Amino acid sequence: MSQSTKASSSSSMKVPSHGFLADPSWAPPKLVTKCLLEARPGYQSKSASEYLDTPEVLRQKVSLLVRLLQGSTHTLLYTGAGISTSSGISDFATRSDASVVNKKKISSVYAAEPSLAHSVLAFLHTLERPLVHYWVQQNHDGLPQKAGFPQHSINEIHGALYDPSNPIVPMSGELRGDLYASMLAWEKKASLCLSLGTTMCGMNADRCFTTVAQKAFESRKSPPASSQRHIGGVIVNLQETQHDGIAALRIWAKIDDVMRLVLLELGVDEATVRQKHSHCPLPPLADPAVPDVFVITDRKDSAKSTRLDLRQGAVVTITDGPHKGKHCRVIKKSPKGHYLLEMPKNDGTGSILRRLGCWLITAAIEGSGSLPVVNASAAVVAGMEAADALKLPAISTSKSSGAGECKGVDKDDRSQVKSKGERAAEEKNPH
């Protein structure tokens, strides 16, 4: 017997949850996909059944959400895989073939483009009086930055595909110290937290939502000890989460649909937002006549600067994270302005591909971020060439040469090209 079915439109939750700020007249959300499977087996999750608010209730909830955003001075975003499914990146929690989740297909995670939600959230951050202020991102996909959300306001707590200094953190791994400290600081000062597209099944990072939500939930019973205003937590997710009971507002809808209504509530044209926040501007060159060379002025002493040469064949050194001190060679630049780097494996049996997002260079040039790589010293480059210490496999970027497989890659590193097919797809969609 199948464990998942498409539910009738008349089915509804037994115990509806709209949040403690809900209007008691709101109709319960509808069960649209019944699934007896657990969303995240082995973790603290609920069933993979999916629910949707009625159109009228959804509109009222979004109107309330906008008012909460306008009343908050420190709004924190906490996003999971659900925000990127409409961009073609699959999630872990969707278990039913009858799911209402978008089934868009893309050739590679690197070819993914920002969803409407990514674009709207980037827009809300750029307002003269921002409605969102900081983003803790569970995903590794770089889609917030592709939509124009500034790197200095993003915390890729579980690792990033486009930052060689921040590799993917395995489930049993440790979070990077500086990123964890930043998350804790925002957990403490945020007055409102939006949890978007995550089941919050027990990750350490879930605390940035639960702390904010719990403070507001408890402050209903007694006045807060400090003058800080606690608005609470908002959850937007199709599936139930273990924290629905402490949410100030619980929205059962697709994230893109919610963000579309947010724009409507604000009187902002969707097409304009999509056009402006669908790509990341390229960083300015030091000399327009010399491609791939940048100058970064020292933030403390404007008389000092660092030259970053990312031309093909250049050697760079990673400046932070678990790979600090490792050397990489620049392989090529994509049409979108991102750089493909190749780093030898520790055991010398092969190499690993890393990407450097153009937004990291922009942040360093603007003085709002540190460079994850710098050019290796002349002595290091000379020593590597003389001793052939950097044993990189030949990688062809021409279509006539086939897929150009990078041999010896670490099978556990999800940030790498793992197969000829995926490499060929990247050549076709070189993002």
pLDDT on residue 376: 94
Nearest to 134 by CA among 76, 181, 61: 76
- Return residue ranges of the chain for CATH 3.40.50.1220: 4-276
pLDDT on residue 40: 74
- This prediction has a pTM of 0.85
CA–CA separation, 300 and 367 (whole Å): 10
pLDDT on residue 224: 57
3 state DSSP class of 275: helix
Decide: 123 and 277 in contact? Cβ < 8 Å. yes
Residue 407: CB atoms within 10 A of its CB come to 10
- Element holding 69 (H helix, E strand): helix 55-70
42-63 b/e (C-beta count within 10 Å ≥ 16 → b): ebebbbbbbbbbbeebbebbbe
- Element holding 327 (H helix, E strand): strand 327-333
Q: What's the distance, Cα to Cα, between the start and end of the chain in Å?
A: 43
pLDDT on residue 406: 30
3 state DSSP class of 297: strand
pLDDT on residue 400: 33
Residue 286: CB atoms within 10 A of its CB come to 16
pLDDT on residue 16: 55
Question: Which tokens hold the place of 381?
Answer: 């480059």
pLDDT on residue 95: 62
pLDDT on residue 61: 98
Q: What CA–CA distances, in Å, run from 237 to 226, 258, 345?
A: 31, 10, 39
Return the residue matching tokens 């937290």: 193
Domain 4-276: which CATH number of 3.40.50.620, 3.30.450.20, 3.40.50.1220, 3.40.50.460:
3.40.50.1220
What is the chain's Cα-based Rg?
Answer: 23
3 state DSSP class of 211: helix
Domain covering 293-428, topology: SH3 type barrels. (2.30.30)
Question: Which tokens hold the place of 223?
Answer: 């006045």
Q: Tens-digit pLDDT profile for the chain (431 aa)?
A: 345 444 433 344 455 589 999 999 999 999 998 888 777 776 777 778 899 999 999 999 999 999 999 999 999 999 999 999 999 998 776 666 768 787 788 989 999 999 999 999 999 999 999 999 999 999 999 999 999 999 999 999 999 999 999 999 988 889 999 999 999 999 999 999 999 999 998 889 999 999 999 999 988 776 655 556 789 999 999 999 999 999 999 999 999 999 999 999 999 999 999 999 988 889 999 999 999 999 999 888 888 899 999 999 999 999 999 999 999 999 999 999 999 999 988 887 889 999 999 999 999 999 999 999 999 998 888 776 764 544 544 433 333 333 222 333 333 343 333 333 433 334 344 45
Q: Which residues, 6+ apart, have CB-to-CB distance to 362 below 8 Å?
A: 151, 280, 281, 282, 283
